[in-house]
Chain A
Amino acid sequence: MSEPSTTRRSTGAGFGRILVFVYGVFALSATGRSSVQLLTKASEAPVPYALSAFAAVVYIVATWALATDRRSVALVAVGIELVGVVTVGAASIVWSEHFADATVWSDFGNGYGYVPLVLPVVGLWWILRGSR
């Protein structure tokens, strides 16, 4: 990646400030959710609980990278997030028997008003905007 020019604004500034806050909220809620799931009932539904923990890590990395203007890290994290929400969303519908309990990404983020599906698209647009 080329060095960011001095005129280019940080990914955490302007609209990015709002985006980072929304990512932070998801990092918090995914961390909270997976901690409760893993600490209280890990054996009940191992697949979704592991995915919850993975989603939490992805959100934490994305929040940190966007806030500190680490574009390549942010791009990878948000890319994984998009692939994750689409894959887990589809898998949770096709193999619903393996998804006894919900993750953030189940049913394409239905339990969170589909924000998890919209967020990575907005994130990718924001990171790539003006960087070419």
Chain B
Amino acid sequence: MSTLHIVLSLGCALVLVQLIVLMVRDRLPGRITYALLALLELGLVVQLVVGLAMVFDDHRGVSVPTYVGYLVGALVILPLAAGWSWAERTRSGTGVLLVGVVLLPVLFLRLHDIWSTHV
């Protein structure tokens, strides 16, 4: 995986641990969690820009719509999760954020697979 994806995955892992601690202690996410999520989202914007540049430069037979689909998918996951969890400020709401940060590394792996099978 690219350095960016490794950094982003570590960020997801960090937020994941924090969310688990919050859920176990039955606390709601605070400023630090949302700041970390915002940072992650910023990283995903960078991923989108880098990914688009890669796929429109020399995509070597990679399916452009599929690749772009995963890039955009990764971009919208956290805002959707945050919005949906905000409507229910409970442990389950925090669980929605947890699903979001677990999902992101899966998408990174998919992006990596799509790219590397065509090299």
Contact = CB atoms under 8 A, between A and B. Distances in A.
A14 B90 contact: yes
Given A36-B63, A40-B63, A17 B95 contact: yes
Contacts, number: 48
A80 B77 CA distance: 26
Given A25-B77, A28-B73, A17 B84 contact: yes
5 contacts: A13-B88, A14-B88, A16-B92, A17-B95, A36-B69
A36 B96 CA distance: 27
B18 interface: no
A87 interface: no
Q: Is the interface of A mostly helix, strand, loop or mixed?
A: helix
Nearest to B98: A18
Given A14-B90, A25-B103, A40-B63, A20 B69 contact: no
Contact of A32 (B73, B77, B80): B73
Contacts of A16: 92
B62 interface: no
Contact of B66 (A14, A21, A36): A36
A17 B65 contact: no
Interface residues of B, number: 22
A122 to B, nearest CB: 13
B65 A36 contact: yes
B85 interface: yes
Contacts of A18: 92, 95-96, 99
Nearest to B76: A28
Given A17-B92, A17-B96, 16 more contacts: A14-B90, A15-B95, A16-B92, A17-B84, A18-B95, A18-B99, A20-B84, A21-B80, A21-B84, A21-B96, A25-B77, A28-B76, A36-B65, A36-B69, A39-B65, A40-B63
B93 A17 contact: yes
List the 10 closest A-B pairs by CB distance, nearest first: A18-B95, A17-B92, A36-B65, A32-B69, A21-B96, A14-B92, A17-B88, A36-B66, A21-B84, A18-B96
Contacts of B100: 21
B84 to A, nearest CB: 5
A109 to B, nearest CB: 14
Contacts of B99: 18, 21-22, 25
A19 B85 CA distance: 12
